[in-house]
Structure 1
């Protein structure tokens, strides 16, 4: 549920060295393509097959449409250009994967005319290798700077040559402050503003190609969770369970992970540092997802190995109803906050309110290339839903010192309402049903 730059580092940091004391059922080394497993995989995981061949990558033609959409939004927002550095939005618009460092690498897209790139001179050849994935790649000009040059003055020069001398320059939200500040200082005639209206305006509404990748990611996650559940047993550590999921994702040909919290620790939405052991009849909460061609899934399941108590079952049913109420409230034109309110009203009416008393977080977040992206389904967000927007739906009830239940599935806003990518979990005893 917490946004990070890498899914694989997203919650794994919670596991202390103490959590690694027990020998794993499946070694992480077993996931490497160049290493043999140290122990046989459980049958349910061994039966999984690679599904990466089902993924259809985003095409150059689709990125060209993204450029057109961005330029239309720039004109609406009166922006002369937008500036993007390394990160997800750079991949979204250009297909270029580029890390952030102290050296400025910037991609700028003017509202009219060809895009351009500012980068260190020693990176020019590496940039040119990647221009085939960039719309207008042949026309993209590369401005290079040496180590003792001022790259920000070079940005100002490039903008002038592109005809952007006055007006507004949009800065994408992940651009480091030091870069944004220095660009603003180098371009005093330009008003520097947030590019979120443009970038979010493009990325928050998914195309059929994007939705297909997200559906595949969610389908894979569901199959991985089901296989790991079928391989779990009392006495296993939470770390061992997570490693089963690691191995299952490797079998499917994708990168992914899941956190696993047990018993009283399931009442902490993002888990605990403490090592944990799965015991019969105790709550188990798993969460996270995988990547498919850059698009992500995010799924939570709560279940018990054994027989749940009446209280556990009651809380599950409340969360189940809240999850259904949230997606049922969604349709184009409805405010984001109304989806959160629909789920929260179910939880409150059942006696687990008010407000954030036991349902301690928003009901959902946008999802796509980032696990958490715009818009957010939270009280106070009056932005209206639009067809093609995708979200998580993850109500939870957390009772400190006892247990917590969260159910999470991803879904898309259609012209007729909300549609989940995966079926709701049926029960604590049978969390995957016929999925």
Structure 2
């Protein structure tokens, strides 16, 4: 999952990019390179990968055992502990003399960025994503296997949703049961739970509320978590509690065809925006174009949202190993809405869906 060779690959990519070093603090970039899921603390943890010379990781002394017992402890990597009275930013700078340009972790805290700037005033700061994005976008077979495992786990939760989704219960009550099921299915943490019922189904990122689910409601359930591997799940299905409105049933079938078409469009060399267009053309052609208000998808891996983004204007061609959501939606404000989402991986000759629960409207008893 976190091969020892990755550190050397990133160092080579850093040198090719013209940067003097990468500086990675706790977050997905650090975990991708080292396997260390470090706590995000006010005390600095920083993996420094110089274009030339030996990489090192500065860690607070009290966090040294955790770093040693993580995958980072098995790398050809010096772990440098610092004490409470040390200035860790000065320590990083002292080990990187003459560096003129550094790549900072994309999710680095502003406090850390500014203190590094003060400690290395001659070094231009850019995003580490300029080096890491290509590597992180192309998932290895082990990463795809981890995403496949995550997909199966969240599918298992969707199979249980009809047991939780009953008229008379609140969205919050249903969401609490779903969150418990996400952990029981093998995730280490719950990332998000969206239960949008009735008019709330028309809000793509609706938060759980105390709205009571009623007979005839359409309910959008969008859920995801993080597996012990660090890789994420994300899947949306739409449910009806009893008989759904007739106008909803008409556009749900359009949506299902659009999602199928976008998944079928996935193959190497196809531009990301063309996958978006495959779904959007069908929805627009049926007269619902203005009700599809977001991009078709986002990349997924160690983050729920990462590159590539499946959106108009992104001409970047898909490559084997790219993993992303395909999730068109139709939303009728004040009434109801629907979304269907699968994670798809671009393969050598097409695409593989990692979510396999039925995409038909699931009707539960009112």
Task: With the length of structure 2 as denominator, give the TM-score of the two structures.
Answer: 0.91
Task: Specify the alignment match of 1:325 in structure 2.
Answer: 261
Distance in 1 between residues matched to 2:292 and 2:177, nearest whole Å: 29
1:289 corresponds to which of 194, 201, 224: 224
SS of the residue 2:3 aligns to: helix
Distance in 1 between residues matched to 2:65 and 2:207, nearest whole Å: 46
1:367 corresponds to which of 300, 318, 324: 300
Question: Which one has a larger percent strand, Structure 1 or Structure 2?
Answer: 2
User: Deviation of residue 364 (structure 1)?
Assistant: 0.5
1:53-79 deviations in Å (ceiling 9; x for gaps): xxxxx3xxx422322331232132112
When residues 253 and 328 of structure 1 are mapped into structure 2, their CA distance, relative to the original with a 3 A threshold, is closer
1:176-206 deviations in Å (ceiling 9; x for gaps): 2232233233224433221102222221111
Task: Specify the alignment match of 2:200 in structure 1.
Answer: 265
1:304 corresponds to which of 222, 228, 240: 240
Task: Specify the alignment match of 2:214 in structure 1.
Answer: 279
For the 8 Å contact 2:15–2:52, the answer to whether it is kept is: no
For the 8 Å contact 1:143–1:158, the answer to whether it is kept is: no
Task: Specify the alignment match of 1:377 in structure 2.
Answer: 310
2:93 corresponds to which of 134, 138, 156: 156
Please show how residues 169-318 of structure 1 align to structure 2 within 5 Å: 169-254=102-187, 255-256=189-190, 258-272=193-207, 274-292=209-227, 293-318=229-254
Task: Specify the alignment match of 2:287 in structure 1.
Answer: 351
Distance in 2 between residues matched to 1:85 and 1:231, nearest whole Å: 40
When residues 406 and 226 of structure 1 are mapped into structure 2, their CA distance, relative to the original with a 3 A threshold, is same
User: Deviation of residue 123 (structure 1)?
Assistant: 4.1
User: Deviation of residue 410 (structure 1)?
Assistant: 0.4
SS of the residue 2:337 aligns to: strand
User: Deviation of residue 110 (structure 1)?
Assistant: 2.0
The reply to whether residue 394 of structure 1 matches residue 327 of structure 2 is yes
Structure 1 segments unaligned to the other structure (5+ residues): 1-57
Aligned residues: 361
SS of the residue 1:422 aligns to: coil
When residues 198 and 314 of structure 1 are mapped into structure 2, their CA distance, relative to the original with a 3 A threshold, is same
Distance in 2 between residues matched to 1:339 and 1:222, nearest whole Å: 23
Distance in 2 between residues matched to 1:311 and 1:113, nearest whole Å: 64
Task: Specify the alignment match of 1:92 in structure 2.
Answer: 32
When residues 134 and 382 of structure 1 are mapped into structure 2, their CA distance, relative to the original with a 3 A threshold, is farther
Distance in 2 between residues matched to 1:227 and 1:424, nearest whole Å: 11
1:103 corresponds to which of 19, 36, 43: 43
The reply to whether residue 142 of structure 1 matches residue 80 of structure 2 is yes
1:30-65 deviations in Å (ceiling 9; x for gaps): xxxxxxxxxxxxxxxxxxxxxxxxxxxx3xxx4223
User: Deviation of residue 299 (structure 1)?
Assistant: 0.5
SS of the residue 1:295 aligns to: coil
Distance in 2 between residues matched to 1:358 and 1:200, nearest whole Å: 32
> Aligned-residue CA RMSD in angstroms?
2.2
